Amino acid sequence: MTEGLRQTLTVEAPSKQYKITIDKKWIDRDFFKALAVNRKIVMITDENVYACYRELLEGFDVFVITAGESSKCMASYSDIQSYLIEHHLTRSDAVVAFGGGVVGDLAGFVAATYMRGIGFIQVPTTLLAMVDSSVGGKVAINHSVGKNILGAFYQPDAVYMDTAFLETLPDAEFACGMAEIIKYGLIRDEALFALLADLPVKAVREQIASIIARCCAIKAEVVAADEEDRGLRQILNFGHTVGHAVESFYHYKTYTHGHGVAIGMAIKAKLAMNNGIIDPVQYRLIVETIKKFNLPIAIDEPEQMPEVLKEVIHDKKAEGDVFKLIELETIGSVKIAAYTYDALVAMLA
């Protein structure tokens, strides 16, 4: 069943070391059976992934959530906990997150808190989950006031990526993953950004396995240096202060996470140009690259932006009255700046 060139990386987080394995067409029923040797596993997935990969999951205990951000909530969290209790999972057993970032964040928060922590394996099926959410151990659900308010740092035991899962992913969801990939280029890797800017979309898709590996390597390096998001790791939040505000203001119904991040990055790029940090040519390159991957650079009703921005009050990078913003220095490099809430909102509006 092995196809493609297998790539492995190690995440050396202070709390846990684990491997990321990337290959194509290698995850099958036997693979899942092997995960269940000498322990119970419960697979968490969503309805769309279940519809595509039902046969793969036959015979396993599977909890299927409603697809979409609305499932990152207390009700789903509680229902899954009850399911684990009913199936008598013990601390030596494991939860397998088989899906996108919603499944991974929710299943991870369940795993982190069930009996104070049980086994947790990530099998991401979206591009976004492969390049970002399945790695690094940020697990969470949303609160009605804001995004990822209830969560933990809980690293998976392993991350297994099969790029063949991307063959069933809708193009719009592929685009959402591209938003986080553009983020990695802008914050840490000029060459990656240049590749995204220069290559046609089709060629980017053809190179996706190596792009995923590059993004995972960047994330692994950052997480190893600052697992709990006190300093350096905050650069991974580039575009997210605005992005989360946009997602949450529209109740996660109008803009996906990838959309929010794309809009947030475009706003930051404009700010950098207006402040003379990047030049107009660089600015245009950034927005054209975002647009090339079918991502938005602004909300549809820009007059609502001042109201939207009030949501940044719930940003988790804040320390007391000090609000942080990740700002472009140039393509491939960012810095962390601090503002008051009022100054931040005024600047972004």
Ligand X SMILES: NC(=O)c1ccc[n+]([C@@H]2O[C@H](COP(=O)([O-])OP(=O)(O)OC[C@H]3O[C@@H](n4cnc5c(N)ncnc54)[C@H](O)[C@@H]3O)[C@@H](O)[C@H]2O)c1
Using CB under 6 A as the criterion, which residues of the chain lie in contact with ligand X when the complex forms?
Answer: 46, 48-49, 52, 67-69, 72, 99-103, 105, 125-126, 128-129, 132-133, 136, 138, 165, 168-169, 173, 176, 257-258
Task: Answer yes or no: is 167 a known binding residue.
Answer: yes
The least CB distance from residue 251 to ligand X, in Å, is 13
Which residues, 6+ apart, have CB-to-CB distance to 33 below 8 Å? none
Segment 213-252, which members bind ligand LNCXM5UN (CB under 6 A)?
Answer: 229, 233, 236-237, 240
Q: Tell which residue, 104, 148, 118, has the closest CA to residue 260.
A: 148
Q: Is 136 in the site for ligand LNCXM5UN (CB under 6 A)?
A: yes
Task: Answer yes or no: is 87 a known binding residue.
Answer: no
The least CB distance from residue 31 to ligand X, in Å, is 16
Which residues, 6+ apart, have CB-to-CB distance to 286 below 8 Å? 186, 265, 266, 269, 278, 331
Report the number of secondary-structure helices (H) and strands (E) in the chain: 14, 11
The least CB distance from residue 186 to ligand X, in Å, is 15
**Cβ proximity to ligand LNCXM5UN, 61 vs 226, nearer residue:** 226
Separation of alpha carbons 187 and 179, rounded Å: 12
Q: For the window 150-189, what string marks contact with ligand LNCXM5UN as x by the rule CB under 6 A?
A: ------------------------------x---------
Alpha helices in 44-138 (DSSP H): 47-57, 74-86, 101-113, 127-128
Task: Answer yes or no: is 138 a known binding residue.
Answer: yes
Strand partners, 64: 45
Q: Tell which residue, 112, 108, 115, 110, has the closest CA to residue 90.
A: 115
**The entry of ligand LNCXM5UN, ligand X, none that residue 316 binds, CB within 5 to 8 Å by partner kind:** ligand LNCXM5UN
**The entry of ligand X, ligand LNCXM5UN, none that residue 324 binds, CB within 5 to 8 Å by partner kind:** none
Separation of alpha carbons 183 and 88, rounded Å: 41
Task: Answer yes or no: is 90 a known binding residue.
Answer: no
Which residues, 6+ apart, have CB-to-CB distance to 115 below 8 Å? 89, 90, 91
Separation of alpha carbons 329 and 187, rounded Å: 9
Separation of alpha carbons 318 and 260, rounded Å: 19
**The entry of ligand LNCXM5UN, ligand X, none that residue 179 binds, CB within 5 to 8 Å by partner kind:** none
Q: Which of 24, 138, 214, 259 binds ligand LNCXM5UN (CB under 6 A)?
A: 138
In the annotated binding site for NAD(+), the residues are 101-105, 125-126, 138, 147, 165-168
**Residues lying near ligand LNCXM5UN in the complex (CB under 6 A):** 132, 136, 138, 147-148, 180, 229, 233, 236-237, 240, 316
